[in-house]
Amino acid sequence: QATLQAAAGTHIPAGVYAETVTEVQHYTDRLFRFRITRPGAFRFRSGEFVMIGLPNAERPVYRAYSIASPSWDEEIEFYSIKVPDGPLTEHLQKIRPGDTLLMRKKPTGTLVLDALLPGKRVYMFSTGTGIAPFASLIRDPETYEKFDEVILTHTCREIAELAYGQELVKNLMEDPLVGDLARGRLRHYPTVTRDPFPVMGRITDLMASGRLFADLGVPPIAPGEDRGMICGSMAMLRDTRDMLEGYGLVEGSNAQPGSFVVERAFVD
Ligand code: A2P
């Protein structure tokens, strides 16, 4: 029982889920989102990632993807970059509804509510596709049970790259269930670095200048009431982590909750 034959020419390795693509939406020539069916037995915590691949090879290439949908959703959503010669995304960007996607069974990750101490306000700092785990968390009622205020920052090079996040927040505010929790408590703070935009600059610079806090009408970050979650490139993680540590926050983990957590936005 090493392999199952799902469709002609398609190998499904043992020990992984083979799910069906239900929806694909392209935002730019570099960014798209897609949804797949959810296995009945699959459980995850909002903010976790999972390994996904395509069944087109004898030895599929797997890459880590943050789950962008909340844990109550009956489907699973991912938000992805398209890398021209990326071993997975080169093929993944061509998927269409009805295609098969492989997903390893065990989700994991540190961008979870359990790894944070309670607090008043949680900042979710993202760049590029680093918004994906927060797309899950801002749609999870538990986030609003744990924190009074949720601040989602999303920095991209170009305006077009903000579209996924803007659509996400708009749909969320209109959602009959989570919308009621999020309204007035979720603040979305998009910034752009290489196009003219109302708020320009890296989030680290906007914190250093105080503009972020002035725009939001909140005090500067302090360990007593503020918590942070960070997802972006290695350089962005390093610089944002340094700033949060400068404010006195301490990095946490599943084993030892703290005042901020970090995860790399996986790109290849
Ligand atoms: P910038 O245009 O100034 O490089 P990337 O595609 O390189 O991951 O960048 C996504 C966004 O993250 C860009 O707006 C980029 O700004 C910003 N960024 C890149 N490096 C850092 C960093 N070290 N700290 C904060 N933001 C960063």
Of 104, 139, 166, the residue that ends a domain is: 104
Residues 28, 93 within the same domain: yes
Do 245 and 198 sit in the same domain of this protein? yes
Kindly state whether residues 118 and 98 are assigned to the same domain.
no
Q: Choose which residue among 193, 195, 230, 266 to substitute to test ligand 1 binding: the one with the highest number of ligand atoms within 8 A of its C-beta.
A: 193
* Same domain for 258 and 145: yes
What is the model's pLDDT at position 204? 98
Q: Which domain holds residue 66?
A: 3-104
Same domain, 60 and 182: no
Sheet with 149-156, edge to edge strand ranges: 186-192, 149-156, 121-127, 226-232, 260-264
The rounded Cα 154 to chain-centroid distance in angstroms is 11
Shared-domain flag, residues 160 and 186: yes
Beta bridge mates, 49: 66, 108
**Phi/psi of residue 124, each to 5°?**
-115, 110
Whether 51 and 176 share a structural domain: no
ipTM: 0.98
Domain finish residue from 71, 104, 137: 104
DSSP 110: S
Give residue 157 CA to ligand 1 midpoint distance, Å.
Answer: 7
Domain total of the chain: 2
What beta strand segments (E) does the chain contain?
A: 3-5, 11-13, 16-26, 31-37, 49-53, 63-66, 75-81, 100-104, 121-127, 149-156, 186-192, 226-232, 260-264
Residue 218, φ and ψ in degrees, nearest 5: -125, 160
Do 72 and 153 reside in the same domain of the chain? Answer: no
Q: What is the CATH number of the domain that holds 221?
A: 3.40.50.80
Query: Both ends of the chain: CA-CA distance in Å?
Result: 32
Verify that 50 and 122 share a domain, yes or no: no
Counting ligand 1 atoms within 8 A of each CB, the residue from 125, 212, 231, 236 with the most, and so the one to mutate, is 236
Same domain, 121 and 91: no
pLDDT along the chain (268 residues), means of 10: 48 87 97 97 96 86 96 96 91 96 96 97 98 98 98 98 98 95 97 98 98 98 98 97 98 96 83
